[in-house]
Structure 1
Amino acid sequence: MSLQIDAVILAGGMARRMGGNDKGLVELNSQPMIKHTIDRIKPQVKQILINANRNQTRYAEFGFPVISDEDTGYLGPLAGMITAMANTQADYLLVVPCDCPLLPSDLVPRMLAQVEHQGADLAVASDGKREQPVVLLLKPSLRDSMKAFLDAGERKVELWYTKHDRVVTDFSDQANAFVNVNTPEQKQQVAKAIAK
């Protein structure tokens, strides 16, 4: 039996450091940033969901279901993950942010191999120096735990996953894979990396 893996691209934030511009729609090398992310993960998953709390019509143009947070008020990445877990029948859900245009092309296979081998609930990616709390491969059955955590007023993803059996997947061989674009300066740096 082959496992079904879906993905959610988190594009639901306020993007304060990008001057409030919707980060996923910011142009990077003449394509919206989220398009680079889609191109990276599409070959690795069955279905993609886009979590967006504004500009939903624009996001729908990419051809994937667009879901908005069940809990309103911009409660952060956990709210987007909870909504996505309620909208998938997959065995695992890949979570990635919309502003990581250099994600590894082997992200899913490596995380899946480790999580299955160790019988863990989830895998979190690491660039070799630090964990990437919004790059996860997790079981949708963790939704109740995450919802309870958010409902208790907690927001930090890494605080939630430390309560679960997890593995850290090391991508230090691709250290730039998780560079995310938060400022116009970072955007210029990443644009150069993509153009190479």
Structure 2
Amino acid sequence: MHENSNTPRESEAITGVILAGGQARRMGGQDKGLLSLAGQPMIHWVLEALAPQVDHLLINANRHHHRYQRFGHPVIPDRLPDYPGPLAGMLAGMETAATGFIAIVPCDAPLLPGDLVARLAQTRDEQDADIVTAQCGGRLQPTFALIRCTLATDLYEYLTSGQGKIDRWYRQHRLAVLDMEEQAEAFINVNTPEELEDLETRFRQE
């Protein structure tokens, strides 16, 4: 990640965590990160966009570890059983990262903007936040976020108490919201075969 100043907070390293641990029920249980898009697994496009923005990368996956390992980054499973949702992947990343913050993105968002992490970090610094998440169309996009890793114990307790809503956990901490209305396409993701086909058409046209 390119540094803009020498202040301790802004120069702190960030680990990117790609969330690929879900069950993808609406995709018939297929592993979304490995679905083909323009001749490459979808996670390829996410990695390509995220890698220049962070200092380290982790892939959170609960299936097909050997296939994800081919991308050359550590693959970490959820610590908790039974697919408890994206928060479990975030927890795995927070516990594994050796940096102060992780930047999370989903594996099915191949139009990730190249300045996402820098903008999240700038908002963190301006508002002294522990968590920064993106917002578009008046709605939070909670799987695009920057999270302080020291919150891992709190998140573990939240999950093991039976809670699972991302927004609710975020709001228990110093949360800042980054409005990205002008980059709405960044949050186009793939939940159905039809959405994958639409995205394939878009990639072919570019």
Normalization by structure 2: what TM-score? 0.92
Correspondence for 1:84 among 87, 93, 97: 93
Q: Is the 8 A contact 1:127 1:177 kept in 2?
A: no
Match among 60, 66, 85 for residue 69 of structure 2: 60
**Residues 105-120 of structure 1 mapped to structure 2, 5 A cutoff:** 105-120=114-129
What does the per-residue CA deviation read over 1:111-137, in whole Å, with 9 as the maximum and x for residues that have no partner? 100111110111001124311111110
The 5 A counterparts of 1:158-177 are: 158-177=167-186
Q: Which position in structure 1 is the counterpart of 2:134?
A: 125
Match of 2:199 among 160, 169, 190: 190
User: What SS does the aligned partner of 1:154 have?
Assistant: coil
In the alignment, the residues of structure 2 paired with residue 127 and residue 176 of structure 1 have an alpha-carbon distance, to the nearest angstrom, of 10
Aligned partner letter, 1:176:
E
SS state at 2:96 partner: coil
Aligned structure 1 segments of 4 or more residues deviating by more than 3 angstroms: none
| Residue in 2 that maps onto 1:98 | 107
Q: Give, as a single letter, the amino acid of the residue that structure 2 aligns with 1:142.
A: L
Paired AA for residue 10 in structure 1: L
Q: Matched residue pairs, number?
A: 196
How much has 1:32 moved relative to structure 2?
A: 0.4
Moved more, 1-10 or 38-47: 1-10
Report if aligned partners of 1:127, 1:176 keep a CA contact under 8 Å in 2.
no
SS across alignment from 1:6: strand
**Equivalence for 2:60:** 51
Residue 31 of structure 2 corresponds to 22
- Could you tell me how far apart the structure 2 residues matched to 1:159 and 1:77 are? 13
Percent identity reads: 45
Aligned partner of residue 7 in structure 1, secondary structure: strand
Which of these residues, 63, 69, 81, is aligned with residue 72 of structure 1?
Answer: 81
**Cα shift at 1:11:** 0.5
Q: Structure 2, unaligned stretches of length 5 or more?
A: 1-7
TM-score of the superposition, structure 1-length normalised?
Answer: 0.97
From 148, 159, 163, the equivalent of 1:154 is 163
